[in-house]
């Protein structure tokens, strides 16, 4: 599949934003983050800013972005519509929670309940995002049981990186969020490693023989291309990344997205206090950049069964 920049930005930015919103909601409700004005203002701005920027970017890949609102009406059958409904619904408790924290200086009690509701909405939205891809039977790399856990793990990991930075800078259970980021990073790496092993070893979902239904006659091969020039299907569905490049990019995603941030987190833990802010900031940047590489690969390595009609032997 062709990795669209808008969709990559949407899934990584909103994922980090929802991960941070999840931790802000629970952290405030359970007293792990003080109702400090600076922490609330910066934290809510970063979380809701990433979410909003990501959701806006998701419309850039549409042919008619102004009609995106109509997708909300198909929630009974479409995970894309459910994602939109969940995202819009999450704004209500998230906005009120931010109001209580920033304006009234409270993030527990009734405001804490709103924080928990915002956290649940964040989880629901990320699940819906993952299910958009996991529900597609035409792309075997996406229709995998680790697709949704991968989205959740990376959202929690990137959100925890920013939460660790914010609590180190403004106060709160910085050590707890730092080690949560370490654990989430290890978990995300384990999930992605298992996912990559699985898609590498899994058999093709379709071949030219099964796609055409002519397998009983023998081997099927393409005599003439369906079109005389490259079309939308070939550009969007027929994109392929070379195996050697995929291996290299997986290593970059692991080193930049996990190894470097974990090393910086350990430096921050050793330094402690205000001195931990710089390594934690670098860890958050590196982890977010690594998530972008991982998400690019998620799309680039996907093969659609329609490519078997355009010369691919299997998909």
Three-state DSSP string of the chain: CCCCHHHHHHHHHHHHHHHHHHHHHHHHHCCCCCCCHHHHHHHHHHHHHHHHHHHHHHHHHCCCHHHHHHHHHHCCCCHHHHHHHHHHHHHHHHHHHHHHHHCCCCCCCHHHHHHHHHHHHHHHHHHHHHHHHHCCCCECCCCCCCHHHHHHHHHHHHHHHHHHHHHHHHCCCHHHHHHHHHHHHHHHHHHHHHHHHHHHHCCCCCEHHHHHCCHHHCCCCCCCCCCCCCCHHHHHCCCCCCHHHHHHHHHHHHHHHHHHHHHHHHHHHHHCHHHHHHHHHHHHHHHHHHHHHHHHHHHHCCCEHHHHHHCCCEC
pTM beyond 0.85, yes or no:
yes
CA distance 149 to 31: 27
pLDDT at 122: 98
Q: Is 313 helix (H, G, I), strand (E, B) or coil?
A: coil
pLDDT at 87: 96
- Secondary structure (DSSP) of 252-293: HHHIIIIIHHHHHHHHHHHH-GGGGHHHHHHHHHHHHHHHHH
**Cα distances (Å, whole numbers) of residue 31 to 34, 48, 115, 121:** 6, 21, 12, 20
pLDDT at 35: 96
pLDDT at 66: 63
Range 5-310 classified under CATH 1.20.1630.10: yes
Per-residue pLDDT of the chain (315 residues; tens, 9 = 90+): 788 899 999 999 999 999 999 999 999 999 999 999 999 999 999 999 999 999 988 877 666 666 666 777 888 889 999 999 999 999 999 999 999 999 999 999 999 999 999 999 999 999 999 999 999 999 999 999 999 999 999 999 999 999 999 999 999 999 999 999 999 999 999 999 999 999 999 888 788 787 778 778 888 777 777 776 777 777 777 777 877 899 999 999 999 999 999 999 999 999 988 899 999 999 999 999 999 999 999 999 998 888 887 777 777
Domain limits, the chain: 5-310
Residues 6+ away with beta carbon under 8 Å from 300: 1, 2, 3, 239, 240, 241, 246
């Amino acid at each position: 599949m062709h990795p669209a920049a808008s969709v990559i930005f949407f899934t990584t930015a909103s994922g980090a934003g929802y991960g941070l919103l999840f931790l802000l909601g629970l952290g405030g409700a359970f007293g792990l983050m003080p109702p400090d004005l600076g922490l609330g203002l910066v934290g809510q701005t970063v979380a809701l800013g990433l979410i909003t920027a990501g959701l806006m970017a998701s419309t850039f890949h549409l042919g008619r972005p102004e009609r995106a609102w109509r997708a909300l009406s198909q929630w009974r059958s479409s995970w894309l519509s459910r994602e939109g409904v969940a995202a819009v619904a999450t704004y209500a408790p998230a906005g009120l929670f931010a109001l209580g924290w920033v304006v009234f200086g409270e993030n527990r009690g009734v405001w804490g309940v709103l924080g928990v509701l915002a956290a649940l909405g964040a989880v629901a939205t990320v699940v819906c995002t993952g299910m958009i891809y996991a529900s597609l039977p035409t792309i075997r790399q996406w229709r995998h049981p680790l697709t949704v856990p991968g989205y959740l793990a990376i959202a929690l990991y990137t959100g925890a990186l920013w939460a660790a930075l914010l609590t180190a800078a403004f106060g709160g259970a910085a050590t707890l969020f730092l080690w949560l980021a370490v654990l989430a990073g290890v978990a995300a790496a384990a999930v992605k490693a298992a996912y990559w092993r699985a898609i590498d070893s899994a058999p093709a979902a379709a071949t030219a023989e099964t796609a055409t239904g002519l397998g009983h006659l023998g081997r099927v091969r393409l005599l003439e291309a369906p079109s005389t020039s490259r079309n939308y299907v070939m550009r969007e569905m027929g994109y392929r990344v070379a195996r050697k490049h995929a291996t290299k990019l997986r290593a970059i995603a692991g080193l930049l997205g996990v190894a470097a941030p974990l090393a910086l987190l350990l430096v921050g833990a050793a330094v402690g206090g205000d001195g931990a802010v710089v390594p934690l900031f670098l860890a958050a940047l590196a982890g977010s950049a690594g998530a972008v590489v991982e998400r690019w690969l998620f799309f680039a390595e996907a093969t659609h069964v329609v490519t078997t009609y355009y010369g691919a032997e299997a998909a």
